[in-house]
Structure 1
Amino acid sequence: MTENPAASSIALALQVLDDMKAEDATVIDLVGKTSLADAMIIASGRVNRHVASISDSLVEAFKKAGHETPKVEGVPACDWVLIDTGDLIIHIFRPEVRQFYNLEKMWGADRPRERLDG
């Protein structure tokens, strides 16, 4: 089996999430499930400011590592920030927003595979 091309991006993101004290980081392998990305990380920040700080740190880390500047959505409110690096999608939520949307269940292992053929 070949290694997931997003592995270095995942490692970088998980290190930043740990450094920033993000909570409950979960990695979901998306290979074969969707063409959106190779993997998704879902994590929580305690409050809006924490979500904003985590997001800022992730964007800076990816830029310093030589990646293109990630696309970022949700920054004004910081209830849910989405960071798209191309091969990796990172969701940072406030805990109650994360629980409401429950992306882990939606994208979990029991999700049917998306049809990739036309």
Structure 2
Amino acid sequence: MTSAQPAAHPAPTASPARAPAAQDDSVAALHALVLQSLDDDQAQEMVTIPLEGKSSIADHMVIASGRSSRQVATMAQKLAERIKRETGRIARIEGLPVADWVLVDAGDVIVHLFRPEVRSFYNLERMWGFVDDAPGAVAN
């Protein structure tokens, strides 16, 4: 008769929900998706502001203009639909009724879509230190 020995169990390994490299790839893919969607919808004067290390709200802020309130609203809705379809994320949208300034919050990427006059009034690029990249900005 042989005695039964307990089966050896391998030590549990910690597997992070999201490895840092996978997270970086995910953020980069989301950022590329946002830029491609806006480009497809003929957004004007797109600017990306890297926020990683500057703010905890997101890793990237994208600012773009549309020619009219209708175009701004359409770009925001299409962007949110594309993000959901391709990543499974639900992007929140603020400002659609008037569509002078629409915010699309996709988590790691925040998108501000403006009519040109409203964009120049608020001048977010300057607030975040991107004066040289701002539309119509003059370098000192």
TM bucket, shorter chain: 0.7 to 0.9
1:61 to 79, 82, 95: 82
Question: What do the CA deviations read for 1:23-62 (whole angstroms, capped 9, x no partner)?
Answer: 0011110011110001100000000000011001101110
- Which residue of structure 2 lines up, in the alignment, with residue 41 of structure 1? 62
Query: How do 1:88-103 and structure 2 match up within 5 A?
Result: 88-103=109-124
- Which residue of structure 2 lines up, in the alignment, with residue 113 of structure 1? none
Poorly superposed stretches of 4+, deviation over 3 Å: 2-5
In the alignment, structure 1 residue 73 sits paired with structure 2 residue 98: no
Change (3 A) 1:58 1:78: same
CA shift for structure 1 position 6 = 2.0
Q: TM-score, normalised by structure 1?
A: 0.86
- Determine the C-alpha separation between the residues in 2 that align with 1:81 and 1:105: 18
Letter in 1 for 2:104: I
Secondary structure class of the residue paired with 1:65? helix
Query: How do 1:100-115 and structure 2 match up within 5 A?
Result: 100-108=121-129
How many corresponding residue pairs? 109
- Bigger radius of gyration, 1 or 2? 2
- Determine the C-alpha separation between the residues in 2 that align with 1:19 and 1:43: 13
Preserved contact between residue 5 and residue 38 of structure 1 (Cα < 8 Å): no
- Determine the C-alpha separation between the residues in 1 that align with 2:70 and 2:34: 19
Q: Which moved more, 1:62-71 or 1:72-81?
A: 62-71
Where structure 1 has 5 or more consecutive residues not aligned to the other structure, the ranges are 111-118
- Determine the C-alpha separation between the residues in 1 that align with 2:38 and 2:27: 16
2:33 to 12, 17, 21: 12
Secondary structure class of the residue paired with 1:6? helix
- Which residue of structure 2 lines up, in the alignment, with residue 28 of structure 1? 49
Where structure 2 has 5 or more consecutive residues not aligned to the other structure, the ranges are 1-20, 132-140
CA shift for structure 1 position 8 = 0.8
